[in-house]
């Protein structure tokens, strides 16, 4: 017995990138057994069919603190709570994890399948040949953009990038990296709504991407492909 048996406890389940066939069996079981399940509305839509007996606690950016306070209040009354997160827990999900960690004594994590893994498998890229950069952060997007330019100029790896809806989106990012000296001829792919019924992908050069005027989905992921080597 460890001290982890005592105190308040919450499970965070990563639900995958949209199609609930990518929810793990462990995650599904935790949701089926929970008294309360909290998460953003779009995340709850993924797990709704499995949350039979649970009280669903949908949250939005503006009321997430209040919803988590309410749900953790129920944990203190003896109920079990699962908080759901999109994709995987270790990919650009830290803000939510920290919000839960601040409120309870113990957090159990059930990882999931990230949109990044789906994009890698769609494009046949191994993780060891890629670097990952996210602009999906409240602060620090400026230094993430600098890192992006650094890796693109290095030309050693494929770069996987999460844009930030809706101020740092694919066409603007492509224009910015060209301005920073990256070759407009580099090949890239933008995936939208991976695993959803209306999934799309676009491939072309960075210059072509910079010229796109139609809007991209908030679920967009960019891959800048490693240039082919000369040998």
Ligand X SMILES: C[S@@+](CC[C@H](N)C(=O)[O-])C[C@H]1O[C@@H](n2cnc3c(N)ncnc32)[C@H](O)[C@@H]1O
Residues in contact with ligand X by CB under 6 A are: 17-18, 86-88, 91-93, 114-116, 136, 162-163, 165, 191, 193-195, 218-221
Beta strands across the sheet bearing 106-110: 55-59, 36-40, 81-85, 9-14, 106-110
Of 30 and 113, CB closest to ligand X: 113
Cβ neighbour number for residue 222 with a 10 Å cutoff: 25
CB of 73 to ligand X, least distance (A): 26
Of 137 and 180, CB closest to ligand X: 137
CA nearest neighbour of 148 among 139, 184, 157: 157
SS3 132: strand
CB of 77 to ligand X, least distance (A): 30
Residue nearest to ligand X (CB): 87
Of 45 and 183, CB closest to ligand X: 45
CA nearest neighbour of 219 among 190, 185, 189: 190
Angle at alpha carbon of residue 146, lines to 144 and 147, rounded to 5°: 65
What is the rounded CA–CA span in Å between residue 24 and residue 32?
12
Of 38 and 75, CB closest to ligand X: 38
Of 22 and 75, CB closest to ligand X: 22
CB of 147 to ligand X, least distance (A): 16
CB of 95 to ligand X, least distance (A): 8
CB of 105 to ligand X, least distance (A): 24
Half-sphere exposure of 117 (CA within 13 A, CB side): 13
The DSSP letter of residue 48 is G
């Amino acid at each position: 017995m460890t001290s982890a048996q005592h105190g308040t406890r919450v499970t965070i389940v990563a639900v995958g990138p949209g199609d609930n066939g990518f929810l793990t069996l462990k995650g599904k079981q935790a949701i089926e057994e929970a008294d309360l399940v909290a998460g953003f509305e779009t995340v709850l839509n993924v797990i709704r069919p499995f949350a039979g007996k649970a009280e669903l606690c949908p949250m939005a950016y503006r009321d997430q603190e209040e919803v988590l306070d309410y749900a953790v209040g129920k944990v203190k009354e003896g109920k079990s709570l699962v908080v759901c997160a999109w994709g995987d827990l270790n990919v650009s999900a830290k803000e939510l994890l920290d919000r839960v960690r601040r409120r309870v004594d113990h957090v159990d994590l059930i990882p999931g399948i990230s949109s990044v893994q789906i994009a890698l498998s769609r494009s046949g890229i191994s993780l060891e040949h890629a670097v990952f950069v996210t602009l999906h952060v409240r602060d620090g997007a400026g230094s993430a953009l600098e890192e992006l330019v650094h890796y693109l100029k290095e030309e050693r790896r494929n770069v996987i990038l999460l844009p930030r809806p809706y101020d740092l989106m694919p066409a603007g990012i492509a224009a910015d990296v060209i301005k920073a000296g990256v070759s407009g001829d580099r090949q890239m792919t933008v995936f939208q709504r991976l695993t959803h019924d209306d999934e799309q992908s676009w491939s072309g050069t960075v210059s072509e991407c910079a010229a796109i005027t139609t809007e991209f989905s908030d679920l967009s992921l960019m891959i800048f492909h490693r240039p082919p080597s000369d040998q």
